[in-house]
Amino acid sequence: MERTTDDQVAIAMVDETQQRFPRLRAISMDKGFHSPANQAALKERSECVVLPKKGRRTQADKARESELEFSQLRKEHSVVESAINALKQHGLHKCPNHGIEGFKHYIGLAIVARNIQRLGAVLRQQEREKEERKRGPYKKRLLEKPSRIS
């Protein structure tokens, strides 16, 4: 996406994604990807397109964006935004490397670091669940409610 804007790459991104994931049912993008041409082209490629319009919306845009499926998928889009925010919180907010190659290198390392952190969280959760299964219901109760001995 060097020297391009989001709305210029939307169709190519969707086409590539659909080749990798043929059962893709819905497309969700930010306002930056919106253009009337993108809206029409994406509608041909998918049964549900979540592409909010930037700027002032017409009555037709408001009606389209207030549909149940649109709003449900828009809420799911926040999961992606959360992942991007997690990258920013773990060092991706400012790139100390210089040039486009340094930037690409830095982005790759940040994504690898975030994936390692996420895998660690999953492994910790699995260990907790394994310990809970080992304890059984009786031991679990003892740990949760300490008895009073007077």
Is residue 69 one of the residues assigned to a domain? yes
**What total of structural domains would you count in the chain?**
2
Q: Give the Cα separation of 135 and 144 in Å (integer).
A: 12
Looking at the DSSP bridge assignments, the partners of residue 27 are 49
One domain, residues 5 and 56: yes
Domain housing 139: 95-150
Q: CA 91 → CA 1, 53, 106, 117, 131, distances in Å?
A: 21, 31, 10, 13, 33
Q: Which pTM value belongs to this model?
A: 0.56
One domain, residues 68 and 99: no
Is residue 59 one of the residues assigned to a domain? yes
pLDDT band at 137 (very low <50, low <70, confident <90, very high): low
One domain, residues 108 and 37: no
Q: Give the Cα separation of 137 and 34 in Å (integer).
A: 54
One domain, residues 48 and 115: no
Of 77, 103, 119, the last residue of a domain is 77
Of the candidate ranges 9-18, 48-57, 76-85, 103-112, the one whose mean pLDDT is the lowest: 76-85
Helix ranges, the chain (H): 6-20, 36-45, 59-65, 68-87, 99-144
User: pLDDT digit string (tens) for 77-123?
Assistant: 777 778 778 878 777 777 788 888 888 888 888 888 888 988 999 99
User: What does residue 77 show for φ and ψ, rounded to 5 degrees?
Assistant: -60, -25
